[in-house]
Amino acid sequence: MSCKCDEIAGGVMDLAPVCIGNLWIFQNLTPEEIIALSKDANRQQLKKGDLLFRQGDNVDEMFLIKAGRIKMDKFFEDGSQITLDIRKPGDFLGESMFSEQGTYPVCATCIEDTLTCGFTRKAFEEKILAYPNIGLQIIKTLSKRINHLTGRVGSMAATNIEDRLFRVLSNVAKEHGNKKDQGVEIRFPLTHEDLSFLTGAHRVSITRAMKALKDSGRILLKDKLLIIPT
């Protein structure tokens, strides 16, 4: 039986091979539980520039990105913002739904045409009542996500802007890159404004740091795409 995501994509979008029932957060589920999750999930298509959710919206849905990429931005009262992450196919959004009801702490914007698969809070709670083991596995695996996010903080801790920028680029390459002969290529262009948000540095500082990294050979630039040499 073909997946509904394949039918919706119609062969136009490159889909992540992972299904929602196989996410890291649902480790060690039975085949019956995986099928139940995948069968009853909600699918939606979004265009580049569409918002998946806004910062401050009530947390009422979780999403698996089946295709496309989504940028996670944090906005502050003084009007400033910072890009915290870029999520790729196979990544999971809306983990806050598993905690007490609250609001999304960031804004999620599609930077490519996107297809998501997920559940509303109400639908998922009904699924947990029918399959209690799903809830147990969530409790066991959420701690792994906390450890991952703690490691990401290290990218922001370096005081030297060149090292901080290189750590951010290395993280992006690790999560979103394609292996090439020269190293790992970041498959989509990153503007200096994007890098400014990701590093918490001014765009002028980013320009200088990028030049220093290229001059030292720590990064390569080919057809406007960045490569992190192996």
Show the tokens assigned to 2: 């073909």
Over 80: is that where the pLDDT of 12 sits? no
Over 60: is that where the pLDDT of 24 sits? yes
Considering the domain architecture, whether residues 39 and 107 belong to the same structural domain is answered as yes
Residues 6 or more apart from 223 whose CB is under 8 A from it?
none
Structural domain including 44 reads 4-156
pLDDT value at position 1? 47
Q: Tell me: the pLDDT tens digits for 71-96?
A: 999 898 888 888 888 898 988 888 77
Considering the domain architecture, whether residues 31 and 140 belong to the same structural domain is answered as yes
Where is the domain boundary, 128, 156, 184?
156
Considering the domain architecture, whether residues 58 and 36 belong to the same structural domain is answered as yes
Considering the domain architecture, whether residues 151 and 176 belong to the same structural domain is answered as no
Considering the domain architecture, whether residues 152 and 179 belong to the same structural domain is answered as no
pLDDT value at position 103? 85
Angle at alpha carbon of residue 109, lines to 68 and 140, rounded to 5°? 75
pLDDT value at position 109? 96
More confident residue, 104 or 114: 114
Over 90: is that where the pLDDT of 194 sits? no
What predicted TM-score, i.e. pTM, was given to this entire model? 0.61
DSSP 123-180: HHHHHHHH-HHHHHHHHHHHHHHHHHHHHHHHHHH-SSHHHHHHHHHHHHHHHHEEE-
Where is the domain boundary, 94, 125, 156?
156
Number of structural domains in the chain: 2
Over 90: is that where the pLDDT of 46 sits? yes
Considering the domain architecture, whether residues 97 and 121 belong to the same structural domain is answered as yes
| C-alpha span between 7 and 226 (Å, rounded) | 34
CATH number of the structural domain spanning residue 176 = 1.10.10.10
Q: What average pLDDT does the structure give for the chain?
A: 83
Considering the domain architecture, whether residues 119 and 27 belong to the same structural domain is answered as yes
pLDDT value at position 196? 76
How many other CB atoms are found less than 10 A from the CB of residue 108? 25
pLDDT value at position 48? 94
Q: Tell me: the pLDDT tens digits for 94-104?
A: 877 877 667 88
Considering the domain architecture, whether residues 145 and 177 belong to the same structural domain is answered as no
Considering the domain architecture, whether residues 142 and 69 belong to the same structural domain is answered as yes
| C-alpha span between 107 and 95 (Å, rounded) | 14
More confident residue, 140 or 158: 140
More confident residue, 169 or 198: 169
Rounded percentage of the chain residues whose pLDDT exceeds 70: 89
More confident residue, 13 or 54: 54
CATH number of the structural domain spanning residue 106 = 2.60.120.10
